[in-house]
Amino acid sequence: MADNSLIDPIVAALQAGNPQLAEQHCRAALGRAPDEPDVLVLLALGLQQQDRYQDALAVFARLVEVCPEDSLHWSNYASALARAGNLEAAEQAAETAARCALNDPERLDELGVMQLGNGKPAAAQATLMRAFDLDPDSVSIRLHAARACIACHDHRAEILLQPWRSWLPLADQQMAELAQLLVQVSELDDGMELLEDRVRRAPDDWSAQLLLAKVYERVNRLDEARARLQWILAAIPADADPGIRREVESQQAQLAMRRRDYAAARALLEHVGPGHADHDTHYFSLAKACDRLGDTDAAMQALETAHAIQVRLLGLSNPHLLEADAPLLPHVDDRVSEADYQAWPQLKAPDASQSPVFVVGFPRSGTTLLEQMLDAHPRLQSMDERPFMNQLANRLGDIGIEIPGDLRVLTQRDCDELRKGYVILACGKVPRRWDARLVDKNPLNMSWLPMIHRIFPHAKFVFVLRHPCDVLLSCYLQDFQAAPLVSACRSLEHLAHAYVAAMEGWLYHANLFQPDVFVSRYEDLVADTPAQTRRIADFLELGEAETMLRFAERAREKGYIRTPSYSQVVEPISARGVGHWRQYAAYFEPVLPILQPMLTHWGYA
């Protein structure tokens, strides 16, 4: 520790707002005590106050030479390097700081943020989740860890943000970050609440204004989204960041798509261009506009760019999904053998009336439309798309029980606890109506059939089917957020193999377990909606079916629909998606032989 007679004048000068005098005192003190760490720190701070960042950086560099085991000096050096734009060196310094202070969550947090900023989401997630384990009460660590999880398509982001109301009040910067993260994890009502409060207090927060406009569109409040964008254009100063106007025009393109003015949407998107090198969303939007205009070649060109960006980013966040031996989709190749199934003990389980109704099928087959129909019935209650089976399987995996191979070891108590855990998860997402049966719509629950059958062996399934080529085209057009679907959609050929694998897995287990299944063809549903809803109502023993026809009204009442079909299920049923793939027949030539087994099995000539 330096002599107070050296330190006190320096501190006094800094507190008085006179960094030049502080620097003079520092240099005089260093003349008597060269490389005194406390004086060097104060000198660096004084230089920073004078905006002499390069000079301060040199001092911080000297400090880590003098005190190579001091994590605080390495942390300060990392911050100075980052300010100077030397991000890789900053990350290395932050890593050294964390190494010098093992199990210090603050240092891990700093390192994780550096890694995230340097485009290393997988490393950042690992670092920040370690920090969270050490200090689960830190709001900043939770926010940063959630951001890393989102970048890695990890559902734990939602869990990290769950107690956000207990954190209030927060500083403006943290509040803005929280609002953005809530929107990204699809907690749009909560995010909208924070954003509306923010723009009331700070109307010139253009980021919040723009995000709020986007949320309004996402919850089908189109007039409010349009009005918000018009207000922003009128209010922003002439010298504002041009990125604000670019984002306004991008959102106006989406609103043009919603009113079916596809030419205007395409013109806007081509005018503004992508906002950055990783802007895959821009190309997906452009592809959809070109698709609606019948320009299939332009649509496919935009989609190739969009998927190339997604695959490149996936290589940073989830590289294992791109390995040559990676499964086409999670659990798609897992099988329960007949011998294993015969070894399952007989257990008590709820009957069909006390079990959820599971709506499954490959994504973009029409599962969301059917879910909204069921949700419109007073005796049913849906939860949007939730990964509950994944979460329960993860809990079992944490105690060494692998799905589906170890399902035979589950006892009566195990299954009772899993059912209880399932109900708790459901109650955490919807205000439960106990006079209504739950509708669990998650397309890829088709791969979780063994686990569902073990927990709810008497549950009814509605398996949604659509022409495989229409399914593939619709998937390829989507900007999926789930990492396995991003990987599966990297090309039409890869997607076709994933589709066939998922179907083969479903058919194998459906034959083994013989669950109670109603196959709902999308083409039948749009061709004669009343008749098909009547058949579904009879299968589910619901009595009347007429309320299911008011699904669009029910969807508009809900506001937020979690899936990519949110803009479609608030409109009347249309047959325009039937046979859509034929416009892209040339692109499907190499795909048809892959799909042929399923085309034959399901009777699609």
pLDDT at 92 over 60: yes
Cβ distance 151 to 317 under 8 Å? Answer: yes
370-415, pLDDT tens digit by residue?
Answer: 998 999 999 999 987 888 998 899 889 889 999 999 999 999 999 9
What is the separation of C-alpha 426 from the centre of its chain, rounded to a whole number of angstroms?
19
Q: What's the burial of 62, exposed, middle or buried (CB within 10 Å: 0-12/13-18/19+)?
A: middle
Please give the backbone phi and psi of residue 266, each rounded to the nearest 5 degrees, phi first.
Answer: -65, -45
The residues, any chain, with a CB within 8 Å of residue 557's CB and separated by 6 or more, are none
- Topology adopted by domain 338-601: Rossmann fold (3.40.50)
219-248, pLDDT tens digit by residue?
Answer: 989 999 999 999 999 999 999 999 999 999
| Cα end-to-end distance, the chain, whole Å | 84
* pLDDT at position 577: 81
- Counting residues of the chain whose pLDDT is more than 70, the rounded percentage is 97
pLDDT bracket for residue 431 (50, 70, 90): confident
8-17, pLDDT tens digit by residue?
Answer: 999 999 999 9
Task: State how far the Cα of 189 lies from the Cα of 335, in Å rounded to an integer.
Answer: 39
Mean pLDDT check: name the lowest of 230-244, 284-298, 427-441. Answer: 427-441
Mean pLDDT of the chain: 93
pLDDT bracket for residue 544 (50, 70, 90): confident
User: What residue segments make up the domains of the chain, in order of their start?
Assistant: 338-601
* pLDDT at position 201: 94
pLDDT at 330 over 70: yes
575-593, pLDDT tens digit by residue?
Answer: 778 999 999 999 999 999 9
Task: State how far the Cα of 17 lies from the Cα of 336, in Å rounded to an integer.
Answer: 73
pLDDT bracket for residue 543 (50, 70, 90): confident
Please give the backbone phi and psi of residue 152, each rounded to the nearest 5 degrees, phi first.
Answer: -100, 10
* pLDDT at position 538: 95
How big is the chain by its Cα radius of gyration, in Å? 28
Average confidence (pLDDT) over 463-477: 97
Q: Which amino acid is at 602?
A: W
What tokens does 441 get?
Answer: 């719509």
Task: State how far the Cα of 276 lies from the Cα of 247, in Å rounded to an integer.
Answer: 12
What residues are paired with 519 via a beta bridge? Answer: 463
pLDDT at 570 over 70: no
pLDDT at 356 over 70: yes
139-193, pLDDT tens digit by residue?
Answer: 999 999 999 999 999 989 999 999 999 999 999 999 999 999 999 998 999 999 9
- Per residue, what are the HEC states of 202-237? CCCCHHHHHHHHHHHHHCCCHHHHHHHHHHHHHHCC
Task: State how far the Cα of 520 lies from the Cα of 463, in Å rounded to an integer.
Answer: 6
pLDDT bracket for residue 249 (50, 70, 90): very high
